[in-house]
Structure 1
Amino acid sequence: MTGWLGVAACLWVLAAVGVSMLPMRWQYLPGSVLLVAGIVLAGLLARALGPLAALAAALAIASMFRRPLVALARRLAGRA
Structure 2
Amino acid sequence: MSLLVISGLWVIAATIVAFLPMRYQYTPGIALLLAAPVLIYMIGRDFGLLVGALALFAFLSMFRNPLRYFWKRALGQKPEVPK
TM over 0.5: yes
TM value normalised by structure 2: 0.85
Listed as ranges, the gaps of 5+ residues in structure 1 are none
Helix, strand or coil for the counterpart of 1:27?
A: helix
Alpha-carbon RMSD:
1.3
Taking the aligned partners of 1:8 and 1:36, their CA distance within structure 2 comes to: 14
Partner in structure 2 of residue 69 of structure 1: 67
Partner in structure 1 of residue 40 of structure 2: 42
Higher RCO (CA-CA < 8 Å; seq separation 6+): 1
Displacement, 1:6? Answer: 1.5
Taking the aligned partners of 2:6 and 2:30, their CA distance within structure 1 comes to: 17
Displacement, 1:24? Answer: 0.9
Partner in structure 1 of residue 16 of structure 2: 18
Q: Name segments (4+ residues, structure 1) moved above 4 Å.
A: none
Partner in structure 1 of residue 56 of structure 2: 58
Listed as ranges, the gaps of 5+ residues in structure 2 are 79-83
Aligned residues with identical type, % of pairs: 44
TM value normalised by structure 1: 0.88
Helix, strand or coil for the counterpart of 2:2?
A: helix
